[in-house]
């Protein structure tokens, strides 16, 4: 949309942008008591208005895809929907907190994950986009910073299970690596130096997500199956 109205883009020199004939979005909460629509029903009803129109020159943006229903069913439905649209040539951008939906990027070559850095201490996003790596939702960490009782949060951590806790720890460590690289880059620019190659390039991050998904993947066979401010984003692989 910015390209069409000739606005400057926050992109590297040499970047190529596609031009879309149609742009569809499902954002916000359209529940309506008068029409007997829950949040989930409202989103499905809205998406049905443009599903058949998805094609090679279509951009579809879906915010918190199926986040208003059962997480397991919502993630499975979200994967199927993304696969359906990508198969028709559409470019798709999705934001989500659902771990199962984030994991889709590691097992489907047409998808790539991305996340936005988040400063847990300040409780605010860094607005640094990190392509190729999922992000943590930081739910327990943020709740702790906001003063929720520690004993309650310890119980929540135990209820998460070992695999989920380890996943969050790895994502947090990876987030720290990105933050350090970004700080080094900022210092280099401030000193008038030349940017160093990014040690956490998308390819490296993508390998991380795929290795993580493979370790957890036995129970996901048959699904399209890997996070900023905790939200991950999924997109078409036909990179321009």
Provide the 10 A C-beta neighbour count for residue 138. Answer: 21
pTM: 0.67
* Confidence at residue 86, expressed as pLDDT on a 0 to 100 scale: 93
* Confidence at residue 125, expressed as pLDDT on a 0 to 100 scale: 84
Q: Which residues contact 238 (CB under 8 A, 6 or more apart)?
A: 91, 110
pLDDT in tens, the chain (240 residues): 888 888 988 888 888 888 899 999 998 766 555 555 678 888 899 999 999 999 999 999 999 999 888 889 999 999 999 999 999 999 999 999 888 888 888 788 889 988 888 887 788 888 888 888 787 778 888 899 899 999 999 999 888 877 666 667 777 777 777 777 777 877 887 777 544 444 444 444 444 455 555 544 443 333 333 333 444 444 443 433
* Confidence at residue 171, expressed as pLDDT on a 0 to 100 scale: 72
Rounded to whole angstroms, the Cα distance separating 96 from 230 reads: 8
Q: Which residues contact 29 (CB under 8 A, 6 or more apart)?
A: 39, 42, 68
* Confidence at residue 35, expressed as pLDDT on a 0 to 100 scale: 53
Going 103 to 112 to 110 to 52, the CA torsion angle's sign is positive
Q: Which residues contact 72 (CB under 8 A, 6 or more apart)?
A: 100
* Confidence at residue 116, expressed as pLDDT on a 0 to 100 scale: 84
CB contact at 8 A, 141 and 120: yes
Rounded to whole angstroms, the Cα distance separating 157 from 164 reads: 9
* Confidence at residue 11, expressed as pLDDT on a 0 to 100 scale: 83
Burial of 9 (0-12, 13-18, 19+ CB in 10 A): exposed
* Confidence at residue 230, expressed as pLDDT on a 0 to 100 scale: 47
Helices 202-216, 162-190: inter-axial angle, 10-degree rounding: 180
Rounded to whole angstroms, the Cα distance separating 159 from 200 reads: 32
Residues in the chain: 240
């Amino acid at each position: 949309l910015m390209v069409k109205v000739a606005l400057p883009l926050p992109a590297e020199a040499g970047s190529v942008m596609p031009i879309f004939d149609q742009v569809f979005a499902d954002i916000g909460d359209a529940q309506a008591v008068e029409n007997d629509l829950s949040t989930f029903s409202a989103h499905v009803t809205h998406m049905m208005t443009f599903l058949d129109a998805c094609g090679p020159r279509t951009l579809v943006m879906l915010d918190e895809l199926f986040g208003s229903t059962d997480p397991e069913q919502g993630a499975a439905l979200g994967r199927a929907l993304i696969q359906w649209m990508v198969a028709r040539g559409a470019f798709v951008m999705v934001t989500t907190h659902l771990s199962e939906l984030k994991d889709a990027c590691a097992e489907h070559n047409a998808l790539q994950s991305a996340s936005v850095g988040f400063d847990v201490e300040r409780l605010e996003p860094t607005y640094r986009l990190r392509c190729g790596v999922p992000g943590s939702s930081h739910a327990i960490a943020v709740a702790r910073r906001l003063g929720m009782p520690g004993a309650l949060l310890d119980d929540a951590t135990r209820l998460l299970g070992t695999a989920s806790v380890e996943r969050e720890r790895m994502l947090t460590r990876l987030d720290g690596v990105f933050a350090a690289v970004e700080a080094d880059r900022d210092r280099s620019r401030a000193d008038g130096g030349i940017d160093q190659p990014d040690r956490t390039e998308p390819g490296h991050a993508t390998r991380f997500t795929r290795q993580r998904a493979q370790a957890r993947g036995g129970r996901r066979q048959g699904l399209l199956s890997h996070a900023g401010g905790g939200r991950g984003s999924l997109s078409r692989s036909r990179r321009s």
